[in-house]
Amino acid sequence: MTSLAIIQLVLFLLVALFSPFLTPPKRNQWLLLLVLIVNTGISAVLLLHIESSGPITLLLGGHQRGLGIELLIDAFSVLFTLFLGALGSVVQIYALGFMKTHIPKTQHTAYSGLMAILFFAIFGLLYTNDLFNTYVLIEILSIATVALISIVRKKRNFMAALRYLLISELASLSVLFGIALIYMVTGTLNMTLIYEAMPRAFANYPINVTLALGFMGMGLAIKTAIFPFHEWLPDAYTSAPSSSSAILSALVSKAYMVVLIKILFRVFGSAIIEQLGAQWVMITLAAVAMIVGSLFALGQTSFKRMLAYSSVAQVGYLLLALSLLSRAGLEAMLFYMISHALIKGTLFLVAGSFSTQHIKDSLKALSGVAYVAPFTALVLGVGAFGMVGIPGTSGFIAKFHLAMALGDASRWGFVALIMLSSILNAIYFFPVIINSIVKQTGTVPLKRDHLPISMVLSMSVLLIAIVTLGFSPSLVLPYIEAAVTAIGF
């Protein structure tokens, strides 16, 4: 029972290892899907196990605590492996149909292999309780992500991939520098032991701890595309094939967010962050990101670029919730992460469905699309409603919880800011929906979508998930509460 988490990691590695030998490549895709579903199931079993008998600590190699790598399987990490694994399976179902037309045949094997490595890194990042291991997994994740962008052999993709690779390596090195500074004053890499040693280290060597927080914060700010460090994001998200864009925006950025939470609350602890005043930095960046990201999105002519800039704004929301450093704030943040991953993932899949049906990726080309591809347009509508925060979608509940958390901390100014940013969201999303319904030229009989069944299935599942969470958020809220308790609030 206790070593199930290791089986998850090993399964992903095995898929990556055997993917070059399995022919035809189609089998790889099914194998990856199978492993994803099995691992999601394992996470569900682990979640139930933890609920009844507490968190599991695994010491790899049987070394003494503090010497070897330690995995911490608790309500927080398992909630996210369960969610990201499930979402990954749904996107993989979509990829079964999407790949045929959009990814060159020769690259199909590489796609599933890279995807397996990517999931290995995400699961590892969530479970690990060791700082250096975190760095290694961040590097694995960033190289796998970049490779997923350069998998389409186009000029633009190479350039986007190299720029992303350079900037994310810069970020990883920044994180490693932070780890070195922490190791220097605490003498350990185990997060729990560092957390225990932190108050003394901070009292004796405040410069080291401050610099470490700065370096790690900057590194993760680049990775999660927090506002002034978001330059790489639009190119990376738009040039990747849509199923990869969905993985990038829904899974990878959330995994880095989880790392940020772990570093802030399990390594430094909220007391030190408050003492250094880091929450004010976060609040400022969040407020700017929420407005500026939306303004950038307003100016785009490409649908995928618009989604990418809207992600910049959404990271601002997450950071705003994080900056409260409170239980309510963290609960709101975790729900927002789940909701945003669902909605943004769905919208990128919609972009992929348009391109499968030879509809150009420009906002102009989307006018009247509801008559050509009614199902995709329906999913687009629900996704856009979710982004704006219309009641009945998970986006509304997420924004509501965030506003409540801000209200508890009596930061009413930021509640107003959320409203303003939501209005901006509406300004750029509603014209897309209206355009898609209102056909300008003549009347064309209603057509049906020309999509592979797997793509329809996957988008339907996400659609149902968004609406279900919108009507009964209580399905996940208890697990989120348990996760926040596990973080230490």
The reply on whether position 346 binds other proteins by CB under 8 A is no
| Minimum CB distance to other proteins, residue 368 (Å) | 18
Residue pair 88/12 in contact by the 8 Å Cβ criterion: no
Residue from 351, 403, 433, 483 that binds other proteins (CB under 8 A)? 351
Nearest to 432 by CA among 342, 359, 338: 359
Residue from 22, 44, 58, 180 that binds other proteins (CB under 8 A)? 180
The reply on whether position 173 binds other proteins by CB under 8 A is yes
**Where are the alpha helices (H) located in 357-373, listed in sequence order?**
369-372
| Minimum CB distance to other proteins, residue 460 (Å) | 22
Stretch that binds other proteins, among 110-118, 150-158, 195-203, 456-464 (CB under 8 A): 150-158
Q: Give CA–CA dist 402/161, Å, rounded.
A: 34
Nearest to 238 by CA among 284, 302, 304, 313: 304
For residues 113 to 142, the per-residue mask of contacts with other proteins, x marking binding by CB under 8 A and - elsewhere, is -------------------x--xx--x---
Which phi and psi (to 5°) does residue 319 adopt?
A: -65, -35
Residue pair 222/175 in contact by the 8 Å Cβ criterion: no
Binning the chain into helix, strand and coil, the percentages to the nearest 5 are 80, 0, 15
| Closer residue to other proteins in complex, CB, 161/258 | 161
For residue 373 the two structure tokens come to: 């591809």
Please tell me the number of Cα atoms within 13 Å of 209 on its side-chain side: 26
Residue from 27, 102, 327, 439 that binds other proteins (CB under 8 A)? 102
For residue 405 the two structure tokens come to: 């958390």
| Closer residue to other proteins in complex, CB, 208/294 | 208
The reply on whether position 193 binds other proteins by CB under 8 A is no
The reply on whether position 435 binds other proteins by CB under 8 A is no
Cα–Cα distances (Å) from 316 to 151, 286, 294, 338, in that order, read: 30, 4, 10, 15
The reply on whether position 361 binds other proteins by CB under 8 A is yes
Stretch that binds other proteins, among 37-45, 75-83, 353-361, 412-420 (CB under 8 A): 353-361
Whole-angstrom Cα Rg for the chain: 22
130 has which bridge partners? 190
For residues 291 to 320, the per-residue mask of contacts with other proteins, x marking binding by CB under 8 A and - elsewhere, is ----------xx-xx---------------
For the CA atoms of 51, 54, 55, 57, what is the dihedral angle to 10 degrees?
-140
Stretch that binds other proteins, among 171-179, 337-345, 376-384, 390-398 (CB under 8 A): 171-179
Residues of span 223-242 touching other proteins by CB under 8 A: 238-239, 241-242
| Minimum CB distance to other proteins, residue 310 (Å) | 15
Residue pair 240/115 in contact by the 8 Å Cβ criterion: no
The reply on whether position 7 binds other proteins by CB under 8 A is no
The reply on whether position 362 binds other proteins by CB under 8 A is yes
Which phi and psi (to 5°) does residue 71 adopt?
A: -105, 135
Q: Classify 237 as helix, strand or coil.
A: helix
| Closer residue to other proteins in complex, CB, 303/396 | 303
Q: Give CA–CA dist 338/346, Å, rounded.
A: 12
The reply on whether position 464 binds other proteins by CB under 8 A is no
Q: Which residue has the tokens 């995928």?
A: 304
For the CA atoms of 46, 455, 233, 170, what is the dihedral angle to 10 degrees?
50
Residue from 95, 143, 261, 330 that binds other proteins (CB under 8 A)? 143
Residue pair 470/371 in contact by the 8 Å Cβ criterion: no
Cα–Cα distances (Å) from 165 to 11, 135, 142, 143, 420, in that order, read: 27, 15, 7, 7, 34
The reply on whether position 146 binds other proteins by CB under 8 A is yes
The reply on whether position 77 binds other proteins by CB under 8 A is no
- Residues in the interface with other proteins (CB under 8 A) total 42
Stretch that binds other proteins, among 50-58, 317-325, 350-358, 458-466 (CB under 8 A): 350-358
Residue from 16, 152, 272, 278 that binds other proteins (CB under 8 A)? 152
The reply on whether position 183 binds other proteins by CB under 8 A is yes
Binding site for other proteins (CB under 8 A): 102, 132, 135-136, 139, 143, 146-147, 150, 152-153, 155-156, 158-159, 161-162, 165-166, 169-170, 173, 176-177, 180, 183-184, 189, 238-239, 241-242, 301-302, 304-305, 351-352, 355, 360-362
